[in-house]
Structure 1
Amino acid sequence: MKSLSVLELSKLYDLNRQTIYNHINKGILSKNSDNKIDLSEAIRVFGEPTKKQDVKESVKVDSPNSAEVLLLRQQIDILKNQLSDAKDREVFYQNQIETMQRLLEAPKAHITTFTDQNPAQPTASPADPEPEPVTSNGEVTTPEQSKRYPVPEQVEPEPEQRGFWSRFFKPYG
């Protein structure tokens, strides 16, 4: 025969659970080894149930108004908001990156290399004769020739990098 839990039996007979537990404690109603009450035992004590529908149908876990479904819907809404915020941040940062790239790629006017630099000279009138420069070896160069300035070589080599402990244990050499 069919076995019912205390909760199912209370819903079937529209009784308080405590009433059913009191009947079990007094010995009026007995439980099976799996802690369920046989339907024939319940009919003996309480009579025929007034409800004709199955107990399992009245207890619905998947009802849309259950607390679990509401909690999941709230979490979905929160996640949707977080996703839209993340998309907005992504668009903002993409715009920032594009702006920075445009600034980096902008043409730089008046930037010359070290060898191409010409010293700024005041403009002279055509009547003023320009002195011809003389190089160190006595050659005279004309203004049409490109001037190259020698870069001095480093006089002293850089000292060896020393670690923290080597400063105490290795002598200077």
Structure 2
Amino acid sequence: MDASKTFKKSRTTIYEALKNGELSRDHDGLIDLSELLRVYGNPMGVQSSTRTEQVQKDVHVHVQSEVETVLKDQISLLKNQLDLANQREKSLMQHIEDLTHRIEFKGTLEQSKKEDIEKINQSIDSNIATDPRSETAARSLTSPSAPEVVENKRIPVPEHVEPEPPKRGFLSRFFLPNG
């Protein structure tokens, strides 16, 4: 058995380990190297091969480079998302500023309209005493949205109106002929 030479254990020790359950056999009845390494550790005087170390280093470097690539991609994606968010914020701030200016302009416009209406009312009030027609003009200027109400003093009457028949009582409706 090569295991006894490699691990410098007697065959009896190995068989006892199998019997006690410390070691186990494969389905083909042989002892796997990983089982021997698990129980006895690295063989005496045998170091791990440089080939194994090189493969492990290559795998480590390959995995590290893949991780770096993935992280760089994620950083790039996050930077793009941040740029888009900053653009959206800038656009929304500009929109808010535009709306604020509109509201301020509307307020000053309404204020100037009120001042104009007050001036017109003052000039109308000063003219009412001298001109009787100005009162209707003042009403139309102060409330331009309300329609002007004109009183019509003449009521037209149709030329031919049929007279109403005289009213009849309850019993006369049944006993007297239609008139």
Report if TM-score (shorter chain) is over 0.5.
Answer: no
Normalised TM-score (structure 2): 0.37
Q: Which has the higher helix share?
A: 2
**Which structure exhibits the higher relative contact order, with contacts defined as CA atoms closer than 8 Å and separated by 6 or more residues?**
1
Larger Rg: 2
